[in-house]
Chain A
Amino acid sequence: MPLIEIRNACKGYGHNGSRTEVLKDISLSVEEGEFVVIVGYSGSGKSTLINLLSGLVKPDSGEALIEGRTITGPGPDRGLVFQNYSLLPWLTVEENIALAVDEVFKDWTAEQRRAHVARHIAMVKLSHAAHKLPRELSGGMRQRVSVARTLAMNPRVLLMDEPLSALDALTRATLQDEISEIWQSNKTTVIWITNDPDEAILVADKVIPLLPTAPATLGEPILVNLERPRDRRTINHDPAFKKLRARLINTLLDAKGRTKSKTSLKLNLPDILPEDLTQVNSIEFLTRRGPKRRHESKNEEVEVAA
C-alpha cells in the first residue's frame, strides 16, 4: 500500500460564473521512503496540489489518502515546509521549533522535548542562532529553521512547497545539498514541489511533471537513478543527467506548446478615405458629411497563448 496518495482529484476555485479549474484527474501515489519532486510552471497549481496532501485544501472530487485513510485536515503526520518559511516572528528559533514539538509530543517529559529541539537545531547547523529571532536571520537560515521545525514533528511525509524559491541561487544550492543529506540519513518520505528542473533531478528519486494544461494534469513520472550522493559540480557533465533533464524540460515545453489555441478577433482597420484637399474652399467641402469611411471589417486569425 502506498504511504500517501491522491485518487482522481479535481480542484477549482470560484463559483459558477468565474470558476477556474486548477487541477484535473490528479492521481499520485508515493511509497514509504521515496523522494518525489513535482515540477511545474509558476501558477500551474503546484501549491494547490501539495495543499491537497497537507489537508489545507479539500478536493472537489476524488480523494487524498494517507496510509489508506482519507485526509480530512492538516496534521502533524504530514509536515509542511512553507515557501515563505512562516516562522512566528515573535518567537526565537528554539521557541518556534518547541511550539511544534510541545504540541506533537505532549506525553514526553520537558527534558526529552528540549533535547529533541536541540538535536534538530543542530541538524540544520543553527545551534549558534538558537536564541535569535527570525528577523535576525538570513533567508536561508530561516528556511533551515522551517525545515527543522517540520522534521522535529517526526512526520511520516515531508511536504515541501517550493521551499527554496525565495532564496538566491548559491544559498539554494547549499540547502539542496543539506536537505539531500538529511534525507539520506533519515529516509523520510519527501514530496517536494519546485519550478526548477535542475533542482528536481538533483535531489529526487522520481520526478513528476505537472503539465500546464488548463486545468493542470500530472505527466509521466521520470525515474532518476543517478548515484547518491550527487555532486553538483560533476553531475552537470553526466550524460545521464543531461538526458533526464532534456526529457523533463521537453515534456514541460511540449505541454506548454499544446496549450496554445486559435481564436479569431475582429479587427477594425483604419478606413477613412483620402479627400481632395484642393477643394477645401469649395461649398461642397463645407457641406460634406464628415470624412468618408470604407465601412469594412476584416477577419484575421492570430495565435495567442492561452
Chain B
Amino acid sequence: MHPLIQKYKLDSIFLPLLAILITCLFWYVIAGKSVITEKTDDFGDKIKVTKREGLSADLPTPAETWTASKPYIVDPFAKRGELDQGILRFTWMSLVLVAQGYFIALVIGTPIGFLLGLSRQFTKAFDPIIQVLRPVSPLAWLPLGMILFSGVKVVNGDGRTTFGASDAAALFTIAICAMWPTVMNTAVGVRAVPVDYLNVARVLRLSRWKTLWKVLVPATLPYMFTGFRLSLGIAWLVIVAVEMLTGRPGVGGFLWQQYNANSYAHIILCILTIGVVGYVLDRLMSVIEGRFKTA
C-alpha cells in the first residue's frame, strides 16, 4: 500500500479508534458491575441477591448501556408513548425547537450587531447592558421567560394548548442565549470593513441603503457566519437545560426523565446523541461559513 495512505489510515482511523477504546476501558473500569451472590433467607430458601459494586456503582458498563439503548437506536423513529420514543424522534423535536429559537436569535442579533458596528453612540449606550446580560446562564433566563410570556396560550380546535407559556419561554431562552456571538461578531465585522470599500461607496455616492446591501453586508458576511456558527453551538447547548426545566419532550427532556426513572444507561445515550448532533451541526455551519469567505 502507498505509504501516504498508510499514514493517513494510522492518523485518522487507527488513532481515534485507539482513543475510543481506551476511554471505554476506563469507563468499564470505573463502572459498577452486578455481582450475584447466593444467600439463604430467613425461611431457609436459597435466593439470588444482585448487588452492584465498583468505583461508581450506579454507572452502567458500556455493554449494559448498549443493551439498554438498543431499542432506541435500532428503531430511532418509534413512538411508544409521549416520553418513550426513538432517539432520533427526540432529537428531531429538539432540533425543531432549536431551529426556531436560533432563527429568532439571528433575526434580532444581526441588526443589533450592525447598529453596534455602525454607531459609536449606540455602542457607548448599550455596551454595558450587553456585557452584563451576555454571561447570564440559560437556567436564569427561563424563569424570566415564563413570567414574561405567562399570558401566551394558543389553543387549537380540540381545546388543546399548542403553544403555551413554557414554549414561549423556551424560545425566548434559546434566542437570548444564542444571540450574543452573532451580535458581537457582526459588530466586529462591520467595524473591520476596509475604509477603501466605504470610500468607493462615497465616491460613487451610493445611497445609505445601497451602501448597506452592496458594500457593508457582503464585507461583513464572513464575520457574520462565524457568529452564526457559534450561536448555533450555544443554541444546542441551551436546549438541554430548557427541556429539563420545562419538561418538554426532546433529547434533553428524555435525559432528565430517564434520570428520574433510574435508567442511567439512557442518560449516556442522550449525552452521546447531543454530542454527535452538536458536532454535525458545527461541521455543517463551518462548511457554509467557508463558502462565504471572500478574498
Decide: B204 and A103 in contact? CB cutoff 8 A.
yes
CB distance from A286 to the nearest CB of B (A): 63
CB contact under 8 A between A86 and B200, given known A76-B205, A103-B206: yes
Interface size class of A (residues with CB under 8 A): 20 to 34
Asked if B12 is at the interface of the complex by the 8 Å CB criterion, the answer is: no
The minimal Cβ–Cβ distance linking B212 to chain A, given in whole angstroms, is 13
CB distance from A208 to the nearest CB of B (A): 23
B202 contacts A86, C-beta separation under 8 Å: no
Per-residue CB contact flags for chain B residues 171-215 toward chain A (1 = under 8 Å, else 0) read 000000000000000000000000011011011111000100011
A82 touches B199 (CB 8 A): yes
Write out the residue numbers on chain A whose beta carbons fall within 8 Å of the beta carbon of B164. Answer: none
Within 8 A of B (CB), among A116-143: 133-135
Q: Kindly state the separation between the CA atoms of A89 and B218 in the bound complex, as whole angstroms.
A: 9
* Residue with the highest number of chain A CB atoms closer than 10 Å, among B196, B200, B215, B294: B200
Return the CB mask of A244-265 against B: 1 if under 8 Å, else 0.
0000000000000000000000
Q: Does B295 contact A (CB under 8 A)?
A: yes
Interface flag for A2 (CB, 8 Å): no
Check if B202 sits within 8 Å of A74, measured CB to CB. yes
What is the CB-to-nearest-CB distance from B54 to chain A, in angstroms, rounded to a whole number? Answer: 59
CB distance from B143 to the nearest CB of A (A): 44
Q: How far is the CB of A242 from chain B (nearest CB, A)?
A: 38
Cβ-based interface call for A226 (8 A): no
Q: Residue-by-residue, is A61-105 near B (CB-CB < 8 Å gives 1, otherwise 0)?
A: 000000000000111101110101010111000000001100110
Please indicate the chain B residues that have their CB under 8 angstroms from the CB of A73 in the complex.
202
The smallest beta-carbon distance between B202 and chain A, in angstroms, is: 5
Establish whether residues B218 and A100, one from each chain, have CB atoms under 8 Å apart when the complex forms: no
B196 engages A82 (CB within 8 Å): yes
A179 part of interface (Cβ distance < 8 Å) = no
CB atoms of B200 and A75 under 8 A apart: no
Known contacts A88-B215, A89-B294, A103-B210; is A76 also within 8 Å of B196 by CB? no
Given contacts A56-B199, A86-B196, A103-B210, contact A75 B294 (CB under 8 A): no
CB distance from B225 to the nearest CB of A (A): 13
Chain B interface residue count, CB cutoff 8 Å, equals: 17
Interface centre among B196, B203, B204, B218 (most CB of A within 10 A): B203
Q: Which of B197, B215, B295 has the most CB of A within 10 A?
A: B295
Query: Does A54 belong to the interface (CB within 8 Å)?
Result: yes
Could you tell me if B295 and A89 are in contact, using CB atoms closer than 8 angstroms?
A: yes
In the assembled complex, the Cα of A202 lies from the Cα of B197 at a distance in Å of 31
Pairwise interchain contact A54-B218, C-beta atoms closer than 8 A: no
Q: How many Å from the CB of A150 to the closest CB on chain B? A: 9
Question: A55: shortest Cβ distance to chain B, in Å?
Answer: 8
Consensus secondary structure, chain A interface? loop
Instruction: Report the minimal beta-carbon distance from B257 to chain A, rounded to whole angstroms.
Output: 49
Contacts of B200 in A (CB 8 A): 82, 86, 88
A102 to B274: give the CA distance in the assembly, Å: 50
Q: How far is the CA of A134 from the CA of B218 in the complex (A)?
A: 15
Complex: chain B residue closest to A133, CB-CB: B295
Across the interface, do B204 and A100 meet the contact criterion of CB distance under 8 Å? Answer: yes
With a cutoff of 8 Å between Cβ atoms, the chain A residues found around residue B204 in the complex are 76, 99-100, 103-104, 153
A74 touching B295, Cβ below 8 Å:
no
Do residues B202 and A56 form an inter-chain contact, with CB atoms below 8 A?
yes
What B residues does A82 contact at CB under 8 A? 196, 199-200
Q: Give min CB distance, A154 to chain B, whole Å.
A: 13
With a CB–CB cut-off of 8 A, which chain A residues contact B219? 88, 90
Q: What's the nearest-Cβ distance from chain B to residue A205, in Å?
A: 25
Q: How far does the alpha carbon of A133 sit from the alpha carbon of B295 in the complex, in Å?
A: 9
- Would you call B214 and A99 a contact (CB within 8 A)? yes
A88 to B215, CA, bound (A): 8
**Could you say which of B202, B205, B218 contacts A88, with CB atoms under 8 Å apart?**
B218
Partner of B203, one of A54, A88, A90, A135: A54
Which listed residue, A56, A90, A135, touches B218 by the CB 8 Å rule? A90
Asked, given contacts A100-B204, A103-B204, whether A135 binds B295 with beta carbons under 8 Å apart, the answer is yes
Residues on the A chain within 8 Å of B215, using CB: 88
Distance between B230 CB and nearest chain A CB, rounded to angstroms: 23
In chain B, what residue has the closest Cβ to A51? B199
Residues of chain B whose beta carbon lies under 8 Å from any beta carbon of chain A:
196-197, 199-200, 202-206, 210, 214-215, 218-219, 221, 294-295
**9 further interface pairs, Cβ-Cβ under 8 Å (given A76-B203, A104-B204, A134-B295):** A74-B202, A74-B203, A79-B203, A89-B294, A89-B295, A90-B294, A103-B204, A133-B295, A153-B204
**A interface with B by C-beta (< 8 Å):** 54, 56, 73-76, 78-80, 82, 84, 86, 88-90, 99-100, 103-104, 133-135, 153
**Top 5 nearest A-B pairs by Cβ distance?**
A89-B295, A86-B196, A90-B218, A135-B295, A74-B203
18 contacts between A and B (CB under 8 A): A74-B205, A75-B205, A76-B203, A76-B204, A80-B199, A82-B196, A82-B199, A82-B200, A84-B196, A89-B294, A90-B221, A90-B294, A99-B204, A103-B204, A103-B206, A103-B210, A104-B204, A133-B295
